[in-house]
Structure 1
Amino acid sequence: MSCAFSKFKYSALGVRLYSNKVLGLFSTTHKRNYAVSTEEPLKKTPLYDFHVENGGKMVPFAGWSMPVQYSSLGVLASHLHTRENASLFDVSHMLQMRLTGRDRVSFLEKLVVADLEELPVDNSILSVFTNENGGIIDDTVICKHNDHIHIVSNAACADKDTTHIRKEINKFQQRGGDVNLKIIDDHALLALQGPKAASVLQELCDKDLSDFMFMTARHLNIKGFDCHVTRSGYTGEDGFEIGVPSPASVHLANLLLKYPSVQLAGLGARDSLRLEAGLCLYGHDLDETTTPVEAGLTWTIGKRRRKESDFLGAEHVIPQIKGGVMRRRIGFIVEGAPARENAEIYNNKDELIGKVTSGGPSPSLQKNIAMGYVKSGYHKLSTELQVKVRNRMQKAQVVKMPFVPTSIIWLKAIW
């Protein structure tokens, strides 16, 4: 999509102050994902030196050293550039896996809520891993191919995810099932996001991309490199996530940056973009005590899966679809200062009804937005709330998500 963000004017001082505000919120919000052990060195993606050479401000994130922004383009400018042009993100820290074996679909359906049996080949789907209580172990994007399943999940959950999957594989194999897991650690992952992403990628490919639909996947030859590409992303924009052999990752990044419409972007912009899109961040908006129904992710549970109820924790999740839940995830606009994670949410009678899970300034709206969980009944659109920020009550109102317009059909549909 291309939104009319150019009508907003920012002074140089305003941009600098805004970027500092976003960085402050980012460091607070993502504190639990930061590496805190001085004994374990931070992991580096294949593009680490490339980031440093290009002015990347490197920060610890989920055990990795990652760029939060670049000296040439602050968080605010990077965010707005993505909405109007295209930005290149290094997301190589994320866990990439390949599942093989004749029983791979039936195996994975025990662990996630998606209907993988009916998912067409070369299509992708957003899903969640659930535990025995129906809580969310992690969210994931699953790509189904003829001979394997490609899985991408969160860096912060990498150890937990692999331990869980391998444990279930062992049990499955003991029952005679045929499935195997391979961690893909020889490929970087680049996300090209924004309304101009498709036109840029088309110039580097030898195949016509006009019929490359959103949430589908292909193996593409990009300037001689065999890449696994999904048309998807975490920004609310059109875009592609490109799995490229690690030795070729810097070369591909430089090829993409030759186009004037493409700029580098870091974790700061990625977080504000996903928040505007109403997309969850694991460990904040989702965790193992939260079910898909509470999180507003009921749409990820396939109809057949609801009927068969054979995924982990289904006996807890399925009754919630009809019977309801005690709390729900909402999006809301906050007056005054930004509402940070764990800020308390109250009704207009000063009764505590929930808490904020993600929040910060919206560059597109020039307002403060947030997501959180409230008691059922307070989740309805236009409901007036209060949020305690710095020991002061600030007015808030429940609004429809995504917070900003989007051209992504499935993102429109889920809300």
Structure 2
Amino acid sequence: MLVPYLEDEALIAAAANAAKTAFAQGRPWEDFESRQRVSNATYRLRKFSEWLRTEHRGAIAGRLADASLHEDIRRFKLSCERPLAVAGDLKLLRRHLDVPDRGNQAHRRTSQLVPYPEDAAMIEAAANTANEAIAAGRPSLFLGRRKRVDQATRHLRMFSEWLRREGKSPIADRLNDDSLTEDIQNFYHFYRSYSVDSGVRMLREHEIELQEFARELEQQLDDEPAAAASENTHQNSSLQSLFTELFGESPPPAEELQKFAANPEQQLDDESPPSEIPRSCKRLRGGSSDFNEVTSPKMHQAWAEVPEDFGHIVGLDWKHGPQLAPALLIAALNKRRVLPTLLQPGINLYIHGQPYTAQLQTGIAEGPPNNLLGMSIILIPRLKGG
């Protein structure tokens, strides 16, 4: 004998009587055109309610518009020796109470899912990379169309939300771990129509690409000190030639010449009489401020401006303020080839509309967690419009 929840027993009986009455009056409800169909639905609903009670889950009544009820239906079907199609039977109760099937719609809409934030950012970055490869004519063998990429993205977000609800670790923390494979198999028990194999492969390929970028960047950072030394030598030589041409005398040592280029007005005031170094010169177009631009064009060069807003990379839970750049943002900057370097130690960018300056921190040996590039960049907020 079935023993469902008392409130479910009353609701099921009332709905069944209403459906039979409508059938007798020649106005049968959709999907319940016979008394036998109503009786079968009644039996399955009572059996489902009894299972909910024994599993200490909530009753059907009060959850007809809740997505959690659909999750319980999946668990119930797995527990039965012969799967019972309870989802369609819920229409009997919803028709009786005039309740829309919002729970099922919410369950299907992946935009309403709540995956782990780190998984959501990683999935979006990998999907963007896959779509860019398709647009460039270099599609992946297993994700050759945007439709396949979109499907893999939806299934990954569903999988990540399931991991979060089950209290399991996110995908990003164990992408190449055997425990993730085990959880994928468990996920398939509840969502047999979903597949995350292609999506996980997409994430792994994206991680390999980031690692390749990291190696390239490391090689670039190893090569840049020599390039910087060569640049400084060339700049010093140019300054010495310009000094001789302007003032007709041998220049001071390179160290003093660099100080002179950085702050000519101070050097003029402290070291040189006005009669020896003129404050205005025809070659300098009218004064010391122009002289500073001529002698050191690189000293005041503006840092690169990246017009893209990186809010979608850092996520909606971003908190503004000075802080180390997260690993995903560093990877995104590297992918766009706009990372700060030793020759260009800073760039200007935007995060959720707030302008920031991203500066390379060469004195910090350890970057943020999960930083595949192994570098440290600090984000400094700027005044809007500045």
Which range, TM-score by smaller chain? Answer: under 0.3
More helix per residue: 2
TM-score w.r.t. length of structure 2: 0.26
Considering Cα pairs closer than 8 Å and 6+ residues apart, tell me whether 1 or 2 has the greater RCO.
1
TM-score w.r.t. length of structure 1: 0.25
More strand per residue: 1
